[in-house]
Chain A
Amino acid sequence: MNIRWYHLALWTAFIVGMFFLPQLVSKGTLRTIIFANYLAIFAISWDVLSGRTGYVSFGHPFLIGLGAYTTAILTKRFDVPVEISIPAAVLVTMVGGSLLFLPALRVRGSYFALVTLAFMELMYQLVQVIRPDLTGGTRGMSGIQTLTRGAVNGYYLSFGLIASLGFGMWLLMKTRLGTALSAIGMNEEAVRGSGLNTTKLKLAAFMLSAFVAGLGGAFYVHYLGSIAPRALFDINFVFTIIVAAILGGASTIIGPIFGAFFLTFLLEYLRPYLPGAERYFIYGGIALVLYMFEPKGLHHVLQMALSAIKGKSRS
């Protein structure tokens, strides 16, 4: 493992800063940050799979939706306690992740991305058609049990999740497993040629991604108290997740967290000027420019700035 002191210092600063945040900002800002936290979780989930292995998912709401719907239906329709419904939601999402994995055995690149998009569309259709008495059909569900009261508690819950999932995934990706997953993204055949079973590795990536997406989706629905399928299974939501992940810097964990915060606040500040979906074009454009000129993302820009400062102070 290649862990340096400043990595841990950064994590500590992040966690300490986030811990005291509610004392510093308004309730409204706090709600924005809660959204950023969940977006960061979804971006990490996407990044562990797509940022590393190069199997780009356009269907992540399929996984997030499985987690969200499972716990929502179990708690609301069957009075199952959340202690059981949330783990069940994560399990169901991981089963969904193994379904998403099947096409990855045969296709990659844009074909794979399209198949995942089809998964999302299919699920959107299914929740409307199959047992709308359970799923709420086109209108979705409301009155779902919430776990916390008020912005501050909601914030701490989301922060606990992003801190533990983010740090956990970061540690895991620092091991040789993370190296192997990245290697698949660079040259899958050479990974096989190094004696590694890439099917097993890819399955692990899908399972990790589904675990994070399912957990995030389940907690998010218990924060919102409602599900709106049209907003969930929306290509704009997909792009928000992907842009957050690559904007911050794919394959870094800390990058998607940066990206999610940057994007959420950008979106929030643009809201008064551009109330409609045009906002998405704006950040799509920003992401494109950044991606063209600095494909390694904001994270990398900061890193370069840091080493530039270090270089200056040395000379």
Chain B
Amino acid sequence: MTSLLTVSNLVKKFGGLTATNDVSFTVEKGDSLALIGPNGAGKTTIFSQIMGEVRQTSGTIHLAGRDIGGMSTAARIRHGISRTYQVPRPFSDMTVLENIRVGLMPDNLTQMVFGRVDHDREEALALSVGLAPQDLHRSPSELSMGDLRKLEMARTMATNPNVMLLDEVFAGLTVGEIAQISELIQSMRREGMTFLIVSHDLKALEPLVDRAIAINQGQKIAEGSFSEVMDNEAVVASYLGG
């Protein structure tokens, strides 16, 4: 059986800097994998390559056995993978529902023009991530950081992914908001969603994942259960030196 997501020998060079240095890992269907490492380790760059926003220098990316490493971002999303961003960047002059509408749109001009807007689904998605009914017609500038991250989750879920990549999901959140997002991820895991999660909040991350890999200076330095990876000497050193 093939893994849902397989990254093999991924290398990304930005000029003289090797941001990703021969990284390989797999994520099985229904699995949740943590991607940890100090600032600048190259976590976001790995996400961007998986999504095709940054093209790898070499290496391959397979989704459900299909080589997606050369596809456009839109095509990858159609094949069932989607990400959130470290810094939520919603469509600022739109309401919450309109933001989700963009995620729900079919990539087809005729359908965009003549198809109907599914208001019920927009609303259901917004409520499912824990946004309040009174927020649905607000503009993103009126939302808290926690709500912005929820909106980011909703817009990502709207593309109907099988795998979600979450970048710094807890950054800038209050304790209460961390609990809400954690609960959301847990409930999606119970429904079979596959996750690859980056977070600096290791305590909040631990209960959400089955396994972890650690990255430092673009290289994978450890892999295993969360506690194994956290106890790894190289990992401890990378955080201290990081």
List A residues at the B interface (Cβ < 8 Å). Answer: 1, 172, 175-177, 179-180, 182-183, 186-187, 189-198, 200-201, 204
A184 vs chain B, min Cβ distance (A)? 9
Q: Is there contact, CB below 8 Å, between A176 and B107?
A: no
Cβ of B113 within 8 Å of any chain A Cβ, yes or no, is: yes
Q: Tell me which residues across on chain A come within 8 A of B78, comparing CB atoms.
A: 195
**Closest 8 CB pairs between A and B?**
A195-B77, A186-B91, A176-B112, A197-B74, A194-B103, A195-B159, A192-B73, A177-B112
Q: Tell me which residues across on chain B come within 8 A of A204, comparing CB atoms.
A: 109
Q: With A182-B93, A186-B91 given, is the CB distance from A193 to B85 under 8 Å?
A: yes
User: What are 27 sample pairs from A and B whose C-beta atoms fall under 8 A apart?
Assistant: A172-B113, A175-B112, A176-B115, A176-B117, A177-B109, A177-B112, A180-B112, A183-B94, A183-B102, A186-B92, A186-B93, A187-B91, A190-B85, A190-B89, A190-B91, A190-B102, A192-B72, A193-B51, A193-B77, A193-B82, A193-B83, A194-B155, A194-B159, A195-B77, A195-B82, A196-B102, A200-B107
Q: Tell me which residues across on chain A come within 8 A of B115, comparing CB atoms.
A: 176
List B residues at the A interface (Cβ < 8 Å). Answer: 51, 53, 72-74, 77-78, 82-83, 85, 89-94, 98, 101-103, 105, 107, 109, 112-115, 117, 155-156, 158-159
Q: Tell me which residues across on chain B come within 8 A of A179, comparing CB atoms.
A: 94, 98, 101-102, 105
Q: Is there contact, CB below 8 Å, between B101 and A193?
A: no
Q: Closest B residue to A199 by CB, please name it.
A: B72
A1, A187, A192, A196: the one contacting B105 at CB < 8 Å is A196
Q: Tell me which residues across on chain B come within 8 A of A176, comparing CB atoms.
A: 101, 105, 112-113, 115, 117
A304 vs chain B, min Cβ distance (A)? 16
B211 vs chain A, min Cβ distance (A)? 26
Q: Closest B residue to A196 by CB, please name it.
A: B107
Q: Tell me which residues across on chain B come within 8 A of A193, comparing CB atoms.
A: 51, 53, 73, 77, 82-83, 85, 156
A100 vs chain B, min Cβ distance (A)? 19
Q: Tell me which residues across on chain B come within 8 A of A201, comparing CB atoms.
A: 109
Q: Tell me which residues across on chain A come within 8 A of B94, comparing CB atoms.
A: 179, 182-183, 186
Alpha-carbon distance between A182 and B91 when the two chains are bound, in angstroms:
9
Q: Tell me which residues across on chain B come within 8 A of A183, comparing CB atoms.
A: 91, 94, 102
A129 vs chain B, min Cβ distance (A)? 38
Q: Tell me which residues across on chain A come within 8 A of B74, comparing CB atoms.
A: 192, 195-198
Q: Tell me which residues across on chain B come within 8 A of A197, comparing CB atoms.
A: 72, 74, 107
Alpha-carbon distance between A193 and B117 when the two chains are bound, in angstroms:
20
B111 vs chain A, min Cβ distance (A)? 8
Q: Tell me which residues across on chain B come within 8 A of A195, comparing CB atoms.
A: 73-74, 77-78, 82, 103, 105, 107, 159
Q: Tell me which residues across on chain A come within 8 A of B109, comparing CB atoms.
A: 177, 200-201, 204
A306 vs chain B, min Cβ distance (A)? 19
A77 vs chain B, min Cβ distance (A)? 37
Alpha-carbon distance between A193 and B48 when the two chains are bound, in angstroms:
10
Q: With A183-B94, A200-B109 given, is the CB distance from A194 to B158 under 8 Å?
A: yes
Q: Tell me which residues across on chain B come within 8 A of A200, comparing CB atoms.
A: 107, 109
